[in-house]
Amino acid sequence: MIVITIDQRKSRSGPDKVESLLSRLASDYEATRGFERTAGDEIQGVFEDGTVAVILALDVAHTGEWSVGIGVGSVQTPMPRETRAGRGPAFEYARDAVERAKNTSASLALSGPGDEAERLEAELQILALVNARRTDSSAEAGILVSKGLTQRQVAASLEISQQAVSARLTSGLWYEAARLADVAGRALDSYSMTMDEGEPA
């Protein structure tokens, strides 16, 4: 199982943004157990789908307003209806991950048993840094492509040449990052499913 813990950065010097994030995540992502505020400015959700978990984690980390911790492991069953009542190693790993995420430039970390966690964390942190360092123009073109538009359609929408769209996508590593995110999501899915068979040593 996959548990994601998200903690607001610099919450003491700014307004509480938890409720608005909870609303957005409930609208945009399907969870096994939806996000709930667990304590203060921290929220937690439970997922079975690794691809969804990766997309969500990168989405939230990209804002720069949150630290995102992904925990992978077993959970006590039957799972309670409320996320904050959940127990098990996945929740403990998520706690470790979010604390480490606070000290990374990617604002994201992943914890779990075995070597696979370290590899997945490295991939996700690279993706988070690529996302963070894109120019606004590259991000604008990439978001439209991610919604299913062709480069020609993006060019028409932005009133620029198709060549300019291609250049923006290339500079932002959009296709490469999308491929890595897809691979990482499927790998996280497989890694999580092994927890049903017992955690590796």
> Measuring CA to CA, which residue among 126, 123, 127, 128 is closest to residue 191?
123
> In the prediction, which pLDDT does 86 show?
87
- 66 found inside a domain: yes
Show the beta-strand stretches assigned E in 28-107. 33-39, 42-47, 66-72
Report cis status (omega within 30 of 0) of the bond before 15: no
Could you say which residues of the chain have pLDDT below 70? 11, 13, 196-201
Same domain, 72 and 146: no
Are the beta carbons of 152 and 163 closer than 8 angstroms? no
pLDDT score at 81: 87
pLDDT on residue 201: 44
Residue 17, domain CATH = 3.30.70.270
69 and 159 share a domain?
A: no
End-to-end CA distance of the chain: 17
- The boundaries of the domain holding residue 74 are 2-112
Do 25 and 79 fall into the same domain?
Answer: yes
User: What's the domain count of the chain?
Assistant: 2
What pLDDT is stored for residue 197 in this prediction?
58
Give the pLDDT score at 79.
Answer: 87
- The pTM of this model reads 0.90
8 A C-beta contact, residue 106 and residue 119? no
- CA distance linking residue 172 with residue 91, whole number of Å: 34
DSSP 105-173: TTSEEEE-SSTHHHHHHHHHHHHHHHHHTS-HHHHHHHHHHHTT--HHHHHHHHTS-HHHHHHHHHHTT
Q: Does residue 61 lie in a domain region? A: yes
Q: What is the pLDDT of residue 13?
A: 67
pLDDT attached to residue 90: 95
Residue 14's pLDDT is 72
- 159: domain CATH number? 1.10.10
Whether residues 142 and 108 fall in one domain: no
Pairing mode, strands 66-72 and 108-111 = parallel
> Angle at the Cα of 74 (from 72 to 77), degrees rounded to 5?
140
Of 64, 69, 73, 75, the C-alpha closest to 17 is 64
What are the tokens at 67?
Answer: 């630290």
